[in-house]
Structure 1
């Protein structure tokens, strides 16, 4: 009930009643002043109070009626505005209100109509941007797939395919030497076995890239441990892990680091001829530090960009920079390769 009395209609009625009260007090003061100062015969105390009472009763009825009627139009126009605002809040930006009057309420209605048109245009723009983003994502996904296929095809051709061709030639030569020179044939068979082992290692490294690209919700430490367990079953490398779990790392950063470490281990398998690999990461001050080292043959830092591993190293550097980190690599022929990655937390 109290809430209803605060409506615009009752506010109109109260304003008329306030006017009635002020008018009554003013009339009473004027009439009593005339009575006290001039004391006319036609004016008595009884007539004064009868006049005031009749005036109050009649004026009260008229004030209530006029306030109720005059507020009806205002209430209806405000209800239209309220409905329009509710429709805009629900996302129905095509709703409009029409008011032909030339006052403040009509101006508010016109501004709300303009707001609805702008919001409707923004929704269309957002939908168009979403569609364009989806198309860009599809295009980028296709381009990334094509690029990865080309890289795998190039690596297969440059490494595995050539090694298989060499195995074929060596096998044919071994067959010809088998009867004439068994000792040379034996040496040839040892070379064939070594080449086959290299081809197998190369293929395993390439298959490592076909592994799922995300951690599937598991922590980075657990993902690296699972990856290393898979590699232990496929290659003769001793892995030494020193992994500390770091709280508060975003899922995107963890996935990038997982892919960087995966790429590094793949390069080690394919190019390093290493027997030991160390992987460690931990939180140091306000950064996440990753260190990957092997005891392989290493390479010349001055010419590593022309080597086959340069594509993988470039990918690792780009991934590190995408998450705001720094990538550093140290290598020397015969002394292995060391990679340091720092990611701010």
Structure 2
């Protein structure tokens, strides 16, 4: 009887040890899977950050080249044409002068516009809210929408300010294209180490996250990726009379 009890105890002990080892193996497998998933996610985020930083640096370089080189050359050509026309040193018909000047002016304006789109100059000199306000002032004469940008945000790292600015542009473009809005506003705040941008419009309501889940719209994905790479979060109030979004970002200490 004692022998049987001893064998039974050993079997139960062995079974318990095997179950314990099985649970340990399952735990280690799950832990390793989660660890690898986290590592891959962090690696993807780091690659995205490096890619955006490289793209931003290249945009700054091209914008500077356009502003300092091409625009300078066009201004010099325009001035030279003005001198020739005034002095009458070149026998050219007035209509041809007009076409030449118009061509140079168009090229100059297009170059400045491309340079601005690549890297808004006020973003580095006066900050995010000034750049957004300038962007709205440029848009307003071309649309029937009333734009408003108010609030103060302290100095931000260039890469963060750029991504937030482009996010506002994406929301604005989306609203102008699909929203049929008459009003669009951005309110900036910078309190207790938290930067926030509230984006409002009175256009057609839409559910940002529902549309994003369906894979609709490259612009929505761009917004998500830009905010993700700088560590910002986006929340949306329930759609009502227009749309109400809030972007928040904690300053790094």
**TM-score normalized by the length of structure 1:** 0.37
Which of the pair has more CA radius of gyration? 1
